[in-house]
Structure 1
Amino acid sequence: MSVASATPLVWMPADHRLLGETVHAQPYLILGDKYARAVKVGAQAQPVMFPLADASEVARLLALVDGVVLTGSPSNVHPRHFGEPVADPSLPLDEARDEVTLAVVRQALAEGVPLLGICRGFQEINVALGGSLHQAVHALPGYLDHREPKSAPLDEQYAPRHEVTLQPDSLLHRLARGAPSVRVNSLHGQGIRRLAPGLRAVAHAPDGLIEAVEFEQARAFALAVQWHPEWRCWEDALSSAIFEAFGQALRQRRARREAEARAFAAAPEFP
């Protein structure tokens, strides 16, 4: 199959989980359906995974895909990546994912691979580029509790919970059709503390917490949000616009790869 005829491919990281009863729990590599479905439906692309990939393989694997979505997850980025000890040992970590995704962020931005970060993915991008996180936003004076009501039905957990104000001259503002603010859902305990160099905050919650970032020197689509636009993205105007714009960027990269493949095939062979 040629590059041109194929659906764009989107690398989505695996979460590492133990599933099953405690004494019989086994390791699994997991991708949430809602993330894969948003890529398939909203971006018109094919989600792919590279199970057990490590950081040394990132450059080679990025060459096979047209974009990356860094998904949310129950696990947190290990705070050692921003020079802090673990504040709450009861919260899940996923260092195997950290190893790959932090490398993916840096390589994707360097190579102009379209990149979309969601929740944990938003935090991974900030940490990968030298930023830090609040490990418990809800414990800080003056901040909202951004966590979801865990005992509530999913429709309530993912319902819009607060406004975010948008920077007027940002990609996100354009995708929101010029709206000064939008309502978003909120399902996170951590958040950006120190913004990484090269990132620009383009949305803020009412308490001032950064809710979206763009990469100042991006060579392609590069956006990350703290909320969850993947949740039934086809039912929300901004969520739909985010995935549609991401899909357009994927097809642009696909077209460039196609042109490069044709040029390589047409190049004369030398002895």
Structure 2
Amino acid sequence: MIAIDLDGTTIDEQGQASPAVRAELRRAQQTGHHLLVTTGRSWLTTVSVLDHLGVWPEYLVCSNGAVTLRRAPSEPGGYRRIHVTTFDPSPVLALVLTHLPDARIAVETEDGTYRYTHPFPPATTEPVDRQHIVSADELGSGPVARMVVIAPDRVFADFRAIVEGMGLRDVMFTLGWTAWLDIARAGVTKASAAESIRSERGFGRDRVLAVGDGFNDIELLQWAAARGGRGVAMGHAPAELLAAASEVTGSLAEDGLATVLAGM
């Protein structure tokens, strides 16, 4: 089972994968390896990447593990949501607004739609013309799969210090490369979702490979490497991920993912 992150691992900032990466992904799937996409993206923006890659894995792990989908060609987008883990966003929302009053916040609901306090970058949630802007009170009404917090005007180091000092409890939170924060129910990670699929499909723990480049891949690489599998960090990954990995490959610019796949 090959679990791959998308942004920064498979595709660049323009949503493009290199010819080498696309070729190796197709070869891996054609030779019988089980591809699993594990991403912080919403399911909608994840599915939009697959046509470009030319691969359609049986399972997708989206929203950093909160949403799992299975291939269903008859469904819109070609996938069906089979598992969603939710939490009450109200306490977290109050903390965020107290510590980051200038933040832009979005929540993903159980049915895969979003609500926003302000417009969001469309690449990872929804197109701008589909973004439903609401008040903070409405944002926190009802269970959600995840909350996304961005502060475009904040320096990352300052943003990180504020987030780590918030006192977030009973939730999982991961930082992005910029002033971007993902929040989900406690215990929900890419790794927890990948483990459920691994167990269901019967793959041995030594038959697992995971490749990633960001803070939200730390648990995934640790899980992959824990019992004889491989947890591979991209060469440009932050120090925390490099420390969690069992191997390091080249950077995105160096086709690090293609290098790993070519060796299988």
**TM-score in same-fold range (> 0.5):** no
TM range (shorter): 0.3 to 0.5
> Under a length normalisation based on structure 1, what TM-score does the superposition of the two structures give?
0.35
